[in-house]
Structure 1
Amino acid sequence: MMALELEVAGEMLMLLPQKAMYWPSNSTLIIADIHFGKAATFRRLGVPVPHGTTAQNLELLDELMMLYPTQHIIFLGDFLHAPDISAATLQSLLNWRTSHPALEMTLVRGNHDVRAGDPPQELGIHIVNEPFRSGPFAFCHYPDVESDGYVLAGHVHPSFRLSGRHETLRLPCFLIGTGRAILPSFGAFTGSYTIKPDADEQVFIVAGDSVIKAV
């Protein structure tokens, strides 16, 4: 897979086709909107959605940590989708955490985290409110938080519409502006929102195994 390197706020960041961001100088993965437990919540409501999304999300995190040396994961909000997380989902998370005992994890609370409550203490996650400052960056859930740092945020689940003569295609994207960047949602079952970039914003599309700049 081909990541795209981009200098942001004086630091090199990597936009990853797995819909995550990597900060090499701090060995940090940045993940937005993973929404653990969302599919199970929908199934309890009678909506026929796929099984296995928790395992898929965790396997993808493992894949990323194998590809990119990772000491720290920062979750930009919406770690849990709802308060009634299933026992199976919780056990999967605990098993995964046990296999990464030295990994530092930070969760910046998002709107779903407020409703779902903080993850169990056994997961060993440092839980903070936005903005969480590290280096030149302000890690947030909401993109419009005021901060003197460069804001890295989620919440929007951005996607970009590509139009051809007869067809249109909507793909997840990174939205990079002069004072903030919005990451695509990482979760396997999260949906998206079609964005219209401002004049000072660039769109980088997740297209299969690559991240490419929209023209």
Structure 2
Amino acid sequence: MNLVEEQITIEGEVLALTSLRAMYWEKEQALVASDLHIGKSAHFRRHGIPISAKVQQKDLQRLEFLVSHYQAKKLIVVGDLFHAEVNTDMADFKHWRNQNLDLEIILIKGNHDRLKDDIYEAYQISCCQKELLMPPFQFIHEPKASRQFSISGHLHPGVRIKQKGRPQIKLPCYEVSATQLILPAFSEFTGLAMSRAKKGKQFYAFTETSFFEF
């Protein structure tokens, strides 16, 4: 599996943005990801839309690679770890979790994280209702103004790239400003919200092989 990094320093902390849709915080040995939407493909199948289970399996394989590559001790999920109800996709997640029981998982609950508390307990997931404070950062699901530098998700940010004589392409990105970092959706089974250029914002778009800074 190919991994490309773009290292940035925020508040004195080295953060590695990766082409595999997650960030690594070196000091805390923590992977940070958003919007995994575990169970989304089964949710769609339940409603008559034929989405392959391989979509989620591919996401979990990518997560496994990242945990192994960085030897991460923590996984911080800034919302929407799960998509909806308990469904057949949960078996894949259960298998993955059983292979990574030494990994501490902390979830800042998002708008889709509505499972009963005993489900999170069964998977050994620590939950925060609104935020997680780990100086110098505040981890939240939905981006909002804050006195602390915040790391969030929810928006599934992306950018359009125009190519001369060729169709424009859409790429997922990390959106960074003076006060916040918005992560791309970890799951590939999500749409993209096109970000607009604005003074003070930087966009780190990526493909499987490259980063593009705007």
Report the TM-score, using the length of structure 1 for normalisation.
Answer: 0.92
- Please state if 1:135 is matched with 2:143: no
- After TM superposition, the runs of 4+ consecutive aligned structure 1 residues lying more than 6 A away are none
Is the 8 Å Cα contact of residues 2 and 17 (structure 1) preserved in structure 2? yes
Instruction: Render the CA deviation track for 1:184-204: whole Å, top value 9, x for unaligned.
Output: 000131121111132111000
Contact map agreement 2:143 2:153 (CA 8 A) in 1: yes
Label 1:158 to 1:117 Cα distance change in 2 as closer, same or farther (>3 A).
Answer: farther
Which residue pairs with 2:60 in the alignment?
A: 58
The 5 Å alignment of 1:1-215 reads 1-83=3-85, 85-86=86-87, 88-114=88-114, 116-118=115-117, 119-144=119-144, 146-166=145-165, 167-214=167-214
Q: Point out where structure 1 has 5 or more consecutive residues left out of the alignment.
A: none
Structure 2 gaps of 5+ residues are none
Is the CA contact 2:158–2:184 (under 8 Å) kept in the aligned structure 1? yes
Q: Distance in 2 between matches of 1:213 and 1:99?
A: 36
Quick one: distance in 2 between partners of 1:3 and 1:90? 30
Equivalent residues of 1:172, 1:192 under 8 A apart: yes
Identity, in percent, stands at 30
Two-structure CA RMSD over aligned residues (Å): 1.5
Is the contact between residue 79 and residue 111 of structure 2 (CA under 8 Å) also seen in structure 1?
A: yes
CA distance in 2, matches of 1:78, 1:121: 16
Mapped to 2, the partners of 1:177 and 1:195 lie a distance apart of 12
Report deviation, 1:117: 4.5
The count of residues paired between Structure 1 and Structure 2 equals: 210
Over residues 164-208 of structure 1, what are the superposed CA-to-partner deviations in whole Å (9 max), with x where a residue is unaligned? 233211000000000001010001311211111321110001122
